[in-house]
Amino acid sequence: MSVESPLPQLDRPFDYLVTEELHDAARPGVRVKVRVAGQEHVGFILERRETSDAGVRLTPIAAVLSPLPVLTPEVAELASAVAERWAGALGDVLRFAVPPRAAKVEAQFARDLAAGEGQDEADDAAGEPRAGTRPSDPDPSRHVTDASVAAGWTELRHGAAFLRHLAAGGSPRAVLSAVHGFGPAAWPQLVAGAVAAARSSGRGALVVVPDRRDLARAHAALEAALPGERVVRLAAEDGPSTRSRGFLELLTGRAHVAVGTRGAAFAPVPSLGLVVCWDDGDDLHAEPRAPYFHTREVLLLRAEQTGCAVLIAGHTVSAESERLAATGWLQRIAAERSVLRRSLPRVTSTADSVESARDPLARIARLPHAAWQLARDALADGPVLVQVARAGYAPSLACTRCREPARCRHCAGPLAERAAGRERTVECRWCATPERDFTCRVCGGHGLRRTAVGALRTAEELGRAFPGAVVVTSSGDAVKAEVPDAPALVVATVGAEPVAPSGYAAAVLLDGETLLRRESLRAPEEALRRWLNAAALVRAAGDGGRVVITAGESEAVAALVRWDPAGFAARELDLRRELGLPPAVRVAALTGAAPDVEAFLAAARPLLDVPGVRVAGPVEREPEGPGPHEQAAAVRALVFFPIASGAALTRGLRHVRTSLAARRETGPVQVRVDSPDVL
C-alpha cells in the first residue's frame, strides 16, 4: 500500500488488512482510503499477499473508492523509479501519475464501456469486425506511405530509416533537429509521422510538449495523420473531467495514442512503442513541485523500462541530449547542409563587421537601422515577427540619479511600469502595490527611468515608427496561437510567437544581450533555443525570408547564423565537462534553514565523503518572491556527483530525508535533483 501524503516519514509501503467484504474489490492498482495515525489518507494497493511480516496487528482498509485499477504495474514501477531518481516521495509522484477521481466520469465511462462490449458481442455474432480494432498482423507501410504524413522525414539524414525501423516494430532512439516551424513539413507533422509509423506496427505512442499552443498543433497533426483513431489529449487546463476520461480511455485500451503536457509522461498508454519529447530544453518540461522531475528524463526512464522507441525532437539540441548522442545512446537525425540552405531564411547579426561598418551605432541601438530597414521592406510581403525579451510595458525601473534598481517600500519587490489604455502606473511586480511617491533607498532620489522595455512598449514604439501598419502583440496572458498572412508587425515575447500559415516574411530578434546576460548557466543555450524557434517560423531565403539578430558577438549568435545547434551543444558540453558542471555531472540542491541544512549534510556525510562528490555551500539565498516559503534565513548547499554514482547517492539522500523527518529533530529541507534553474 502506498499512501498519498507530503510527509517524508510516510514515504514507504504499508501493510493493511483486506476484509472479506472488500476481498473482490481490493485489487492491486485500485484507489482506497486508509487510516494512518488517526487520520484518513488516500492510497493505492500495490500488491496483495497472503501474510505480512509487519509484526503488528494490521488495520483494515477503510474503503475502496473505486473498483477500477487506475494504477497499472508499469506506471507503478515508473513512479517508483522517478521517486528514487529525484530523491522524492512516491506519493508525490503518484499525484501526477494518476489524476484525481471523477466519480461521475467513471460511472458514465463504465456505462459506455458496457454498451460498447454489448455491441462488440453483437458484431461478433454477425461476423462483423469490431469498431476501432487493428489487424493482428499490421501492414508496416500503413500511414507511413502517405506523403502528407511522411513529409519532411525524407529530407532528413537517417529520417526515412527511422520511420522504417519504427514501422517494422523496432525501437530506435534518436535526437531530431527539426528545420521547419510552419507548413506541411513542420515539426507537428514530423512527430505525427513517427507516431503513425509506431501505430502501423500495432503499438501505442506518447507525445509530450511544453505548452498548450504546441499541444493544440500536435493534437491536430496527430488526428490528421491517424484518421479514425482516438487521440487522447492530456492537459491540466482541460479540466478534471476531460483529463479523467482520456486517462480511462487509455487505461482500458480504447485509445492507443496520447499527447499532452508535462504530467502526460505517466499516461497508461497500452503496448507503448514510442515516446516523443518535443523541445526538451523548454523550462516548462521541469516540474516546479516535488519531486521536481523533468519530462525528458521520465520518458527516458520509461523507455529503459519498456524497451520502447525514443524521439527527442526540437529546433535545437539540449546539452543533455547531446551527451546521450555523443555516447551513441541516441542517433542523430538532421538535415544536410544543402537542405538547410534551401529551407532556411538568411540570418544576419548586427554585430557582424559589415553591418557594424554600415551602422556604427548598431551595437547600442535597440532597433538598429538594419532591423528597421528589414521590417519596412518585408511588410510589403507579409507579417513581420518582432521578438522581445520581456512582457509588459516597462518591467524594470531604476532610480534616475544613482541607477539603483527601484524596490517596493512594502515587500522590497521590483517596481514596474504598467500600461492600462493611455494610463501609466508604477506598481510592485510581487505584491501589486501602487507606488505614487517613489523615494530611492540609496540616494533619496524621486525620479524613475526604464532599464528594460517590454512587449507593449515596443509595440507602441513600432506603431510610431511605422505609421499605418497593423501592430499585433502576443505576450503575457494574451498569447496568440496564429496570425494571418496579411502584412502586420507581430510583437511577441520569447516563447509566445504565433505561427503564420505561410511563414513570416522576416523576423527581428531584439534584446539579444538581455537573454545572454541572464544569471543562469544555461543562458546562452536558452537564448539560442529561443532564437531558433522564432527563426524556424520565417520563410526560406529563396522566398525572401530574412532574420536579423541584435546581439553582440558570441558563440550562440554564431550558431544561429550558421544554424548549427548540434555544434553549439557539443561545445557547451565540452566546456561543462571541463568545469565539472551539469549535465557532465549531476547536482542536488539542499535548501532550508541554516541549522536544518547543516544537520542534513552531517547525516549525509558518509554519502558525500567519497571520490568525485563535492559540496558547495551552504550559502544564504536571496528571496525570489513574496510568500511564507521565501525565508530570509534560507540557505542552500549544492552537491555535485558523478553520473555513474547517481543512483546510489540519490537513494541515500532520499533515505536521509525520510529518517530526519521521522525523528522530527530538524525542520524540513527541500531536495531538488538536477533542476535546470539551480545554476
The CATH 3.30.70.390 domain(s) of the chain lie at 586-673
Per-residue pLDDT at 189: 94
Q: How far apart are the first and last CA of the chain?
A: 37
Q: What share of the chain is helix, strand, coil (3-state, %, to 5)?
A: 35, 20, 40
pLDDT in tens, 619-668: 887 655 554 444 445 899 999 999 998 899 999 999 998 888 888 878 88
Per-residue pLDDT at 121: 42
CB 563: neighbour CB atoms within 10 A?
21
pLDDT of 134 over the 50 cut? no
Provide the mean pLDDT of the chain.
Answer: 86
Calpha distance 72→442 (Å, rounded): 60
Contact assessment for residue 386 and residue 489, using Cβ atoms and an 8 Å cutoff: yes
Calpha distance 473→386 (Å, rounded): 9
Model confidence band, residue 146 (pLDDT cutoffs 50, 70, 90)? low
The CATH 3.40.1440.60 domain(s) of the chain lie at 2-71+90-98
Per-residue pLDDT at 17: 86
Calpha distance 396→394 (Å, rounded): 6
Which residues are 258's β-sheet partners? 206, 232
Which residues are 42's β-sheet partners? 33
Grid coordinates representing 104 are 461521475
Calpha distance 405→396 (Å, rounded): 8
Tell which wins on pLDDT, 548 or 7.
Answer: 548
CATH architecture for the domain at 108-119+135-339 = 3-Layer(aba) Sandwich (3.40)
Contact assessment for residue 144 and residue 225, using Cβ atoms and an 8 Å cutoff: no
* Residue 314 main-chain phi, psi, to 5 deg: 175, 170
Per-residue pLDDT at 214: 95
Per-residue pLDDT at 533: 96
* DSSP secondary structure code for residue 615 in this structure: E
Calpha distance 333→159 (Å, rounded): 6
- Cα three-residue angle 203-209-212, rounded to 5 degrees: 125
Calpha distance 145→188 (Å, rounded): 17
pLDDT in tens, 28-69: 988 989 888 778 888 899 888 888 877 788 888 888 888 888
Residue in 279, 297, 286 with CA at minimum distance from that of residue 191: 279
Q: Which contiguous run of DSSP H or E holds residue 533?
A: helix 523-535
Per-residue pLDDT at 429: 84
pLDDT in tens, 352-409: 544 444 554 445 456 777 888 888 899 989 999 999 988 777 777 889 888 888 888 8
Contact assessment for residue 612 and residue 642, using Cβ atoms and an 8 Å cutoff: yes
Lowest-pLDDT range of 98-112, 140-154, 493-507: 140-154
CA atoms within 13 A on the CB side of 569: 24
Residue in 281, 279, 278, 255 with CA at minimum distance from that of residue 268: 255
pLDDT in tens, 163-220: 999 999 999 999 999 999 999 889 999 999 999 999 999 999 999 999 999 999 999 9
Contact assessment for residue 493 and residue 388, using Cβ atoms and an 8 Å cutoff: yes
Radius of gyration of the chain, Cα coordinates, nearest whole angstrom? 27
Calpha distance 492→482 (Å, rounded): 12
β-bridge pairing 423-428 and 415-420: antiparallel
Model confidence band, residue 116 (pLDDT cutoffs 50, 70, 90)? low
Per-residue pLDDT at 218: 96
CATH fold for domain 2-71+90-98:
GIY-YIG endonuclease (3.40.1440)
* Three-state SS sequence of 171-240: CCEEEEECCECCCCCEHHHHHHHHHHHHHHCCCEEEEECCCHHHHHHHHHHHHHHCCCCCEEEECHHHCH
* DSSP secondary structure code for residue 419 in this structure: E
Calpha distance 9→411 (Å, rounded): 35
Per-residue pLDDT at 449: 85
Tell which wins on pLDDT, 135 or 42.
Answer: 42
Q: Write the DSSP assignment of 475-541 as a string of letters.
A: BTTB--SB--SSS-EEEEETT-PPBPTT-BSEEEE--HHHHHTSSSTTHHHHHHHHHHHHHTTBPPG
Q: Which contiguous run of DSSP H or E holds residue 63?
A: strand 63-66
Per-residue pLDDT at 450: 80
Per-residue pLDDT at 190: 95
Lowest-pLDDT range of 79-93, 262-276, 386-400, 548-562: 386-400
Per-residue pLDDT at 676: 86
pLDDT in tens, 317-344: 999 999 999 999 999 999 999 999 999 9
Write the CB contacts of 608 (distance below 8 Å, at least 6 apart in sequence): 601, 615, 639
CATH fold for domain 586-673:
Alpha-Beta Plaits (3.30.70)
Percent of the chain with pLDDT strictly greater than 90: 49
Per-residue pLDDT at 54: 75
Model confidence band, residue 133 (pLDDT cutoffs 50, 70, 90)? very low
Calpha distance 560→524 (Å, rounded): 11
Contact assessment for residue 393 and residue 424, using Cβ atoms and an 8 Å cutoff: yes
pLDDT of 225 over the 60 cut? yes
pLDDT of 150 over the 70 cut? no
Per-residue pLDDT at 418: 81
Residue in 395, 377, 554, 538 with CA at minimum distance from that of residue 466: 377
Grid coordinates representing 393 are 510595458
Calpha distance 606→600 (Å, rounded): 12
Write the CB contacts of 227 (distance below 8 Å, at least 6 apart in sequence): none
pLDDT of 123 over the 70 cut? no
Contact assessment for residue 131 and residue 117, using Cβ atoms and an 8 Å cutoff: no
CA 174 vs. chain centroid, Å, equals 19
Amino acid present at 470: V
Per-residue pLDDT at 620: 85
SS3 for 27?
Answer: coil
Calpha distance 37→56 (Å, rounded): 14
Calpha distance 225→218 (Å, rounded): 10
* Residue 616 main-chain phi, psi, to 5 deg: -115, 125
